[in-house]
């Protein structure tokens, strides 16, 4: 069954590669309309998943990711329309040159081909990934988590109804409507028909894909994110930025996990931080120095950080705090504990910012801003297919261009190599 999906996807990809931008945009608009028309069916299917998820004891973080509301769906449909009006990277010509021997050489952007995306309880991913892959002329095989099976069935049905109203192949977007995990194992070996595999989910899934896939894998979406409150930080601004990074949507990968505080401001700042974020029900894991500053007594609110706490992506209202002696110690902490997703410095000192940017090698590095901006939509890409934390092909939020490759075109007049 999967092998057939793969062959259909490959065939669709060949057609999609020749589709015009207008054809693809019409299809996206049709899909957006269908999704919105069928919102009741979609939300009610999603409700089934949410109820089942609650019964199955899904964590609050996963339940939040799973939940579609009319306003979230509206936002997804809007991002689909945003994608339709974005420039189509396919066909773009770049790096043109005429060599000394007269050969004309350029590169031209082309689709990657067939993508497979494995993800968990996030129905919004179904919409975003379908839109981005279609816009870039790629075919996609979706494999959502079993927790979202009803939502995904409803979403993919609407998406394919939209495709039917376009002249693009229906098999551009396919969905593995079977939660059997053995199928994932099979999928990972289909390098003949799948060109790129994107797992979106927990670390275990990424590791599983890395160990077992013969298809190139883009890993990402796991963020142990840091903000350093430097000696010269604007402390009031720092409070707001940290509050936003931790509290605004704690269940996602760009939410803050650990605050590093320069010793010179720790005594002043840390108690204010705890007071401010306590209003939002945040609890804290403090290193010894921070724990001491906070009174040295365990409470419901504040605990001494244990082994592994600084290596945990919290995905909830928990925040680590550590006091550092200097920026070098902060950079060292980040090198050891970060997943190289999103890390920032809050400072008014330009030299320190520059050093931080030079030595912290994360996908996104920040100065005086919330880590929550690590997002394709926020950074002007319309939407994102994933946030890559690996170093090849694409890094950080992956928008349209990350879903393309290029071919070299060489034009001669009977040129031969000497």
How far is residue 89's CA from residue 218's CA, in Å, rounded to a whole number?
Answer: 20
User: Can you say whether residue 414 is alpha, beta or left, with left for phi > 0 and alpha for psi between -120 and 50 degrees?
Assistant: left
State how far the Cα of 356 lies from the Cα of 232, in Å rounded to an integer.
14
Q: What secondary structure does DSSP assign to 133-201, as a single string?
A: HHHTT-EEEEE--GGGHHHHHHHHHHHHHHHHTTTS-GGGEEE-----THHHHHHTT-TTT-SEEEEES
User: Whole-angstrom Cα distance, residue 1 to residue 9?
Assistant: 12
Which listed residue (25, 130, 152, 362) binds a copy of itself by CB under 8 A? 362
Question: Residue 7 is encoded by which pair of tokens?
Answer: 């062959």
Helices (H), 222-313: 235-247, 263-278, 288-293
Binding of a copy of itself by 217 (CB under 8 A): yes
Nearer to a copy of itself by Cβ, of 213 and 258: the residue is: 213
**Which is closer to a copy of itself, CB of 21 or CB of 303?**
21
Binding-site member from 3, 191, 296, 299 for a copy of itself (CB under 8 A): 191
Could you give the CA distance from residue 140 to residue 137 in angstroms, rounded to a whole number?
Answer: 10
User: How far, in Å, CA of 151 to CA of 288, rounded?
Assistant: 46
**Residue closer to a copy of itself, measured from CB, 42 or 238:** 238
Alpha-carbon gap, residue 342 to 356, rounded angstroms: 13
Among the listed residues 154, 293, 395, 400, the single contact to a copy of itself using CB under 8 A: 395
Minimum distance between the CB of residue 406 and a copy of itself, rounded to whole angstroms? 6
The binding track of 10-49 with respect to a copy of itself, each residue x by CB under 8 A or -, is -------xx-------------------------------
186 lines the binding site for a copy of itself (CB under 8 A):
no
Q: Which of positions 99-138 make contact with a copy of itself (CB under 8 A)?
A: 99, 103, 105, 108, 110, 112-113
**With binding defined as CB under 8 A, does residue 181 bind a copy of itself?**
no
- By the 8 A CB rule, do 321 and 259 touch? yes
Judged by CB under 8 A, the residue of 196, 270, 282, 294 near a copy of itself is 196
Pick the closer one to a copy of itself by CB: 218 or 385.
218
Interacting residue with a copy of itself among 24, 135, 200, 372 (CB under 8 A) = 372
The reply on whether position 192 binds a copy of itself by CB under 8 A is: no
Interface with a copy of itself, residue 222, by CB under 8 A? no
Task: Work out how close the CB of 339 gets to a copy of itself at its nearest, in angstroms, rounded to a whole number.
Answer: 13
- Residue 93 touching a copy of itself (CB under 8 A): no
State yes or no: residue 203 binds a copy of itself (CB under 8 A): no
* Interacting residues with a copy of itself between 248 and 307 (CB under 8 A): 248
Q: Give 46 or 389: the residue with its C-beta nearer to a copy of itself.
A: 389
Host H or E run for residue 62: helix 60-66
Give the interface size with a copy of itself as a residue count (CB under 8 A): 68
Report helix angle 149-164 to 21-37, nearest 10.
Answer: 130
Euclidean distance between CA atoms 68 and 149, whole angstroms: 13
Asked if 296 and 289 count as a contact pair (C-beta separation under 8 A), the reply is: no
Of 10 and 160, which CB lies nearer to a copy of itself in the complex structure? Answer: 10
CB atoms within 10 A of CB 328: 11
Quick one: which of 234, 292, 311, 329 contacts a copy of itself (CB under 8 A)? 234
Alpha helices (runs of H) in 194-349, residue ranges in sequence order: 203-212, 235-247, 263-278, 288-293, 327-337
Please state the closest distance from residue 147 (CB atom) to a copy of itself, in A: 26
* Cβ closest to a copy of itself, residue 58 vs residue 114: 114
Stated as kind and residue range, the H or E segment containing 385 is: none
Token code pair at residue 417: 């190599």
390 part of the interface to a copy of itself, by CB under 8 A = yes
Q: How far is the CB of 412 from a copy of itself (least distance, A)?
A: 3
Q: Provide the binding-site residues for a copy of itself, judged by CB under 8 A.
A: 17-18, 97, 99, 103, 105, 108, 110, 112-113, 191, 195-196, 210-211, 214, 216-218, 234, 237-238, 240-241, 243-245, 248, 344, 357-359, 361-370, 372-374, 378-380, 390-393, 395-397, 405-417
């Amino acid at each position: 069954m999967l092998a057939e999906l793969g062959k259909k996807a490959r065939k669709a990809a060949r057609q999609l590669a020749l589709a015009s931008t207008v054809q693809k945009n019409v299809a996206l608009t049709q899909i957006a309309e269908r999704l919105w028309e069928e919102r009741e069916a979609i939300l009610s299917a999603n409700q089934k998943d949410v109820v089942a998820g609650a019964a199955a004891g899904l964590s609050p973080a996963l339940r939040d990711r799973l939940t579609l509301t009319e306003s979230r769906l509206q936002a997804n449909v809007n991002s689909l329309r945003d994608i339709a009006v974005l420039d189509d990277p396919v066909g773009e010509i770049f790096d043109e040159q005429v060599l000394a021997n007269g050969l004309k050489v350029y590169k031209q952007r082309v689709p990657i081909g067939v993508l497979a995306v494995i993800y968990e309880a996030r129905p919004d991913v179904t919409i975003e990934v379908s839109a981005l892959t279609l816009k870039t002329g790629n075919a996609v095989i979706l494999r959502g988590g079993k927790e979202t099976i009803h939502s995904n069935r409803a979403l993919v049905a609407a998406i394919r109804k939209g495709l039917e109203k376009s002249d693009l192949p229906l098999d551009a977007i396919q969905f593995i409507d079977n939660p059997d995990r053995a199928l994932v194992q099979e999928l990972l070996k289909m390098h003949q028909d799948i060109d790129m595999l994107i797992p979106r989910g927990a670390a275990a899934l990424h590791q599983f894909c890395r160990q077992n896939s013969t298809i190139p894998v883009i890993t990402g979406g796991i963020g142990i994110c840091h903000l350093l409150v430097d000696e010269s930080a604007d402390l009031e601004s720092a409070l707001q930025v940290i509050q936003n990074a931790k509290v605004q949507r704690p269940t996602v990968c760009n939410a803050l996990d650990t605050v590093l505080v320069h010793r010179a401001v720790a005594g002043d700042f840390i108690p204010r931080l705890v007071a401010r974020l306590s209003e939002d029900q945040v609890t804290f894991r403090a290193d010894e120095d921070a724990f001491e500053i906070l009174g040295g007594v365990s409470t419901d609110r504040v605990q001494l950080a244990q082994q592994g706490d600084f290596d945990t992506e919290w995905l909830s209202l928990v925040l680590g705090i550590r006091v550092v002696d200097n920026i070098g110690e902060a950079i060292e902490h980040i090198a050891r504990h970060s997943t190289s997703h999103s890390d920032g410095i809050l400072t008014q000192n330009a030299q320190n910012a520059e050093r931080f940017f030079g030595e912290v090698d994360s996908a996104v590095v920040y100065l005086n801003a919330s880590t929550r901006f690590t997002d394709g939509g926020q950074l002007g890409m319309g939407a994102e297919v994933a946030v890559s934390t690996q170093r090849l092909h694409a890094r950080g939020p992956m928008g349209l261009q990350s879903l393309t490759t290029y071919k070299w075109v060489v034009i001669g007049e009977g040129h031969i190599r000497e």
